[in-house]
Amino acid sequence: MLGSNVQSALSPDAKSRAGLLLKKLTLTEKIGQMVQVNGQQGEISGELRQGIISGSIGSVLNEVNPEIVQEMQRLAQEQSRHGIPLLIGRDVIHGFKIGQPIPLGQAATWNPDLVEAGAQAAALEASQAGINWTFSPMVDICRDPRWGRVAEGYGEDPVLASEMGKAMVRGYQNGSQAQLLSCLKHFAGYGASESGRDYNTTYIPEIELQNVYFPPFLAGLEAGCLSIMPSFSDLNGLPPSGNGWLMRDILRKAWGFQGFVVSDWESIPQLQVHGICEDRLASAGKAVQAGINLDMASHVYAENLQAMVESDQLQENLIDDLVLEILAVKYQMGLFDSHGQKTVTPSQQKNVIQVAQQLAEQSMVLLKNADKVLPLDKNSSGHFLLVGPMADQPLEQLGTWVFDVEQANSITLKTALENELGESLSFHPGLQTSRDQSHVQFKAVSKMAKAADLVILALGEEAILSGEAHCRTDIRLPGAQEALISAVAELGTPIIAIVMAGRPLVMEAVIDKFDGLLYAWHPGSMAGPALVNVLLGNTNPSGKLPMTIPRAVGQVPIYYGHGNTGKPATPETVIGLDDIDPHASQLSVGNTSFHLDVAPSPQFCFGFGLSYSQFVYGDLRFSRESLKPDQSLEVSVLLENTGPVDGVEVAQLYIRDPVASVTRPVRQLKKFQRVALKSQTSIKLIFSIQWQDLSFFNGSSWLVEAGIIEIYVGGSSDARLGGQIQLVTS
């Protein structure tokens, strides 16, 4: 956080060319650059054509017909007075024609390089349609799985989300074959929407904004992102589309951002609905004052700004500054110099599919594997039964935001498993959809399960149950899925559960009935082949949770990096704390921080995930006992794969600052490494920690304080191997 290099994203040449062009524009043409309209899906109306030619439209979203896009660009570049190209925006969120795992699933890979390759693949496909700007990545930290948009982000942790956000920006913007301008969203604090209800109010003190919610945005800007979108939510009484502190003081002054801000869909006139502006005109003025360059879809700038400037209600230089930023980005992207779409070659297309499958495989988190029920032995003489509402759903496995993904490209678990197991597999959906409440099929399922040697249950949530405005209060498996599980479990046949969902689900009531549990998020087009590879052990699972899985919705928000409180629950004070019986009440022998009706721990903690290998950590060493400014600390650890197969482990380093001027989280992720390790071998891992990695915002400034820092290394946020060093400030 100390010392950002955001400014370098824009070249001096782009800025000076933008400055020269700006001087030639009329007020109407300037305002045109601040207007984004919704496309007409496959046509160009007379009004749109005229708008582009007259220079009163600077950007179009949601047009993906390549010929139409090309024609719109031709009108803009060849028939408008200054030939200014259009920004063509689209929500390319996790793949384009080929669906990749939802972002939350991608975060579970803890593999920024692969995530970058995924964004590059999506950029390649999307740029074929003439799209040059995506409203992605969403780097909102979220600690509430009720919120439907948790699917679109990278989880609860600022460091993991920062690494993922940077990877996405690099992938979209730096691809050698294709480039999409990326857009960080939704600035800021949207993921904290009260009660996990979308668009809801948030009150987030600056200390929390700076330490938790801002870092992924700053990281994305440092990776070169040149556009940013405000959140719909109210932030401390000032919705971000009218929040000058956020958009000017933080973004531009403190961080040096030189790109532009696009409003969210009609978020400018919503300032009136929020209750901070009287009407649309006042909303437009407030957004300009706050520094919102581009108005998405609402026309409120087009309707009002000219008259406001002409009647001296708004200064033209405010408009000039905002337009300059948009033009500079258009130059920086090379839009003035390039024409026409690129085509994807067959080998590139193959790579797009491969990346989607790799992402899906690496996103899957093995949460339970009792008696090593997994991997399956496909050569055994046993009979397998596949049951469940998510087993054969080409659309539902894709998850949210898949406008352009072609369902025909989806391979389901049923199809892929049938290919592998042939006659040894039977199938029954049990429930038609994830929300189906009917028990009618259970008898038939039970009969089949009785005859089987192993049941694979494909459970979860349909795509529509997560994403924007799709929030839930009850985050258990929906419909009659819990009853279906019980019906199958009664027969005693071993059960492997696969959960495809857009969020962490509460599985407390059924988890004991599973022998194996693989959390697959919404894996995308290649769900089937990816799942089969993991189930059969062709791919050793390596995913780790990017978000805590709660035992009960009443624990929410529950996350690993919480404060200690003045009365933390301990095994000494809470009877039953060690004995994790979810259904038993807890009893306290003192007043401590816990719920009476559920264990104080989560079902699965952040960073957790099993493998078919076993990883053992040992020999933790520090290169120095004390650390001073400008020095770095090397933390080494011996990681051993004691298991029977080769595997990949995500080694995680956490710190705790036990005494500081303000309370600090009980754990903070600082570094992680994905390491491939052969069976029965070990490797010495080295994590390098810089002074700045230890800084935090104390309410007024970023600083590193003297004192002890505890350091833990291991395979989850519950890592026990630890030691401490001393920070010395002078």
Residues that bind ligand BGC (CB under 6 A): 91, 135, 185, 264-265, 468
Q: Tell me the three state secondary structure of residue 221.
A: helix
CA torsion angle 257 259 125 85 (round to 10): -170
Q: Output 91 or 404, the one with its CB closest to ligand BGC.
A: 91
What is the DSSP code (8-state) at residue 102? P
Position 445: which residue type? V
Give every strand in the sheet of 133-134, ordered side by side.
133-134, 87-90, 59-61, 35-38, 295-296
Q: Output 184 or 610, the one with its CB closest to ligand BGC.
A: 184
Q: How far is the CB of 381 from ligand BGC (least distance, A)?
A: 51
Give the rounded distance of the alpha carbon of 382 from its chain centre: 39
Q: How far is the CB of 90 from ligand BGC (least distance, A)?
A: 8
Residue 318 · residue 12 · CB < 8 Å: no
Q: How far is the CB of 614 from ligand BGC (least distance, A)?
A: 41
User: Which residue out of 264, 295, 392, 515 is catalytically annotated?
Assistant: 264
Q: Output 163 or 264, the one with its CB closest to ligand BGC.
A: 264
Q: Output 155 or 665, the one with its CB closest to ligand BGC.
A: 155
Residue 307 in tokens: 């008259």
Give the nearest residue (CB) to ligand BGC. 135
Residue of 33, 32, 127 whose CA lies nearest to 89: 127
Q: Output 202 or 446, the one with its CB closest to ligand BGC.
A: 202
Q: Output 222 or 468, the one with its CB closest to ligand BGC.
A: 468
Q: Output 418 or 468, the one with its CB closest to ligand BGC.
A: 468
Q: Output 110 or 187, the one with its CB closest to ligand BGC.
A: 187
Strand blocks (E) in 568-614: 574-575, 587-588
Q: How far is the CB of 163 from ligand BGC (least distance, A)?
A: 21
Q: Output 299 or 595, the one with its CB closest to ligand BGC.
A: 299
Q: How far is the CB of 172 from ligand BGC (least distance, A)?
A: 14
Q: How far is the CB of 185 from ligand BGC (least distance, A)?
A: 5
Q: How far is the CB of 146 from ligand BGC (least distance, A)?
A: 17
Residue 696 · residue 647 · CB < 8 Å: no
Q: How far is the CB of 273 from ligand BGC (least distance, A)?
A: 14
- Give the end-to-end CA distance of the chain in Å, rounded to a whole number: 21
Q: How far is the CB of 154 from ligand BGC (least distance, A)?
A: 15
Q: How far is the CB of 48 from ligand BGC (least distance, A)?
A: 18
Residue 113 · residue 438 · CB < 8 Å: no
Q: Collect contacts of 617-621 with beta carbons under 8 A, ≥24 apart.
A: 617/651, 617/713, 617/714, 617/715, 617/719, 617/721, 618/721, 619/684, 620/711, 620/713, 620/721, 620/722, 620/723
Strand blocks (E) in 241-364: 260-261, 295-296
Please state, as a whole number, how many other Cβ atoms lie within 10 Å of the Cβ of residue 591.
Answer: 8
Q: How far is the CB of 91 from ligand BGC (least distance, A)?
A: 5
Q: Output 186 or 252, the one with its CB closest to ligand BGC.
A: 186
Peptide bond into 629 cis (omega under 30): no
Q: Cα separation of 93 and 113, whole Å?
A: 17
* Residue 710: its H or E element: strand 707-714
615 - beta bridge partners?
A: 641
Q: How far is the CB of 139 from ligand BGC (least distance, A)?
A: 12
Q: Cα separation of 5 and 226, whole Å?
A: 13
Q: Cα separation of 108 and 154, whole Å?
A: 8
| φ, ψ for residue 359, nearest 5 deg | -60, -45
Is residue 144 annotated as part of the catalytic site, yes or no?
A: no
The CA-CA-CA angle for residues 228, 233, 235, to 5°, reads 90
Q: Cα separation of 708 and 728, whole Å?
A: 9
* C-alpha separations of 480 from 412, 493, 505, 548 in Å: 22, 20, 15, 24
| φ, ψ for residue 163, nearest 5 deg | -65, -40
Q: Cα separation of 226 and 184, whole Å?
A: 8
Residue of 347, 350, 354, 343 whose CA lies nearest to 118: 354
* Residue 343: its H or E element: none
Please state, as a whole number, how many other Cβ atoms lie within 10 Å of the Cβ of residue 595.
Answer: 15
Q: Output 39 or 112, the one with its CB closest to ligand BGC.
A: 39
Tokens 């003081």 — which residue?
249
Q: How far is the CB of 283 from ligand BGC (least distance, A)?
A: 17
Q: Cα separation of 668 and 185, whole Å?
A: 23
Q: Output 292 or 526, the one with its CB closest to ligand BGC.
A: 292
Residue 672 in tokens: 């992680």
Position 73: which residue type? Q
Q: Cα separation of 193 and 210, whole Å?
A: 17
Angle between helices 316-332 and 280-290 (to 10 degrees): 60
Residue 246 · residue 287 · CB < 8 Å: no
Q: Output 361 or 468, the one with its CB closest to ligand BGC.
A: 468
Active site (catalytic) residues: 264
